[in-house]
Amino acid sequence: MIKRVGGAVLTGYFSLALVATLGLKAYWHDYKSKPVQPIEFPHVKHVQVVGLKCTDCHQYVDKGKHAGIPPMSKCMSCHESAATDRPGVQKLTKYWKNEAPIPWSKVHNLPPFVYFSHKRHVKFFQTNRGIQPNDLCKECHGQVKEMTTVRQVRSLTMGWCVSCHRQNGASVDCYTCHK
């Protein structure tokens, strides 16, 4: 009898530990792994070969909360004629002809109870530290210009946000990020 109870407790303990481990693994896997996109859009080529700047496509970084994903018309301004033999570009052209928006999956996701705005960050570092918007992205997104598929490389946890706020004398009041 006593043995069985002990066994049950032990099993309970181990399954709890297992759930915790799996939970952590799922989270880790979630943001470290490569997201699946409807079209594999290679940042590395567009930045390093074609020579576009981040802000050519993400044009709201210094204007609003969201950086913005470029509309298809932006892509088609080149891809009516550029690289039309590539499977990815043919997929793009199909979406364009069907007037169907490309269902990109969002890579970075803060929980809904956290407030974040690109504009304030971009403006602050430009004005107070002389860092141009295109040189700031890597602080929070890593080296996107070297990525074939963008993935999240920073944890985006509260501790991560707060430690940069401390380093730069920005507010760490709860209300700043939780309105």
Q: Quick one: 10 or 172, whose CB is closer to ligand HEC? A: 172
Q: Quick one: 18 or 82, whose CB is closer to ligand HEC? A: 82
Q: Quick one: 15 or 48, whose CB is closer to ligand HEC? A: 48
Q: Quick one: 10 or 166, whose CB is closer to ligand HEC? A: 166
- Residue 39 near residue 92, CB atoms below 8 Å: yes
CA distances for 164 relative to 45, 56, 83, angstroms: 31, 27, 41
- Residue 39 near residue 102, CB atoms below 8 Å: yes
CB of 49 to ligand HEC, least distance (A): 5
CB of 15 to ligand HEC, least distance (A): 22
Angle between helices 87-97 and 72-79 (to 10 degrees): 120
CB of 66 to ligand HEC, least distance (A): 3
Q: How far apart are alpha carbons 85 and 77 in whole angstroms?
A: 16
Long-range contacts, stretch 84-91, CB < 8 angstroms, 24+ apart: 88/39, 88/40, 88/41, 88/42, 91/38, 91/39
CB of 82 to ligand HEC, least distance (A): 4
Q: Quick one: 21 or 171, whose CB is closer to ligand HEC? A: 171
CB of 18 to ligand HEC, least distance (A): 20
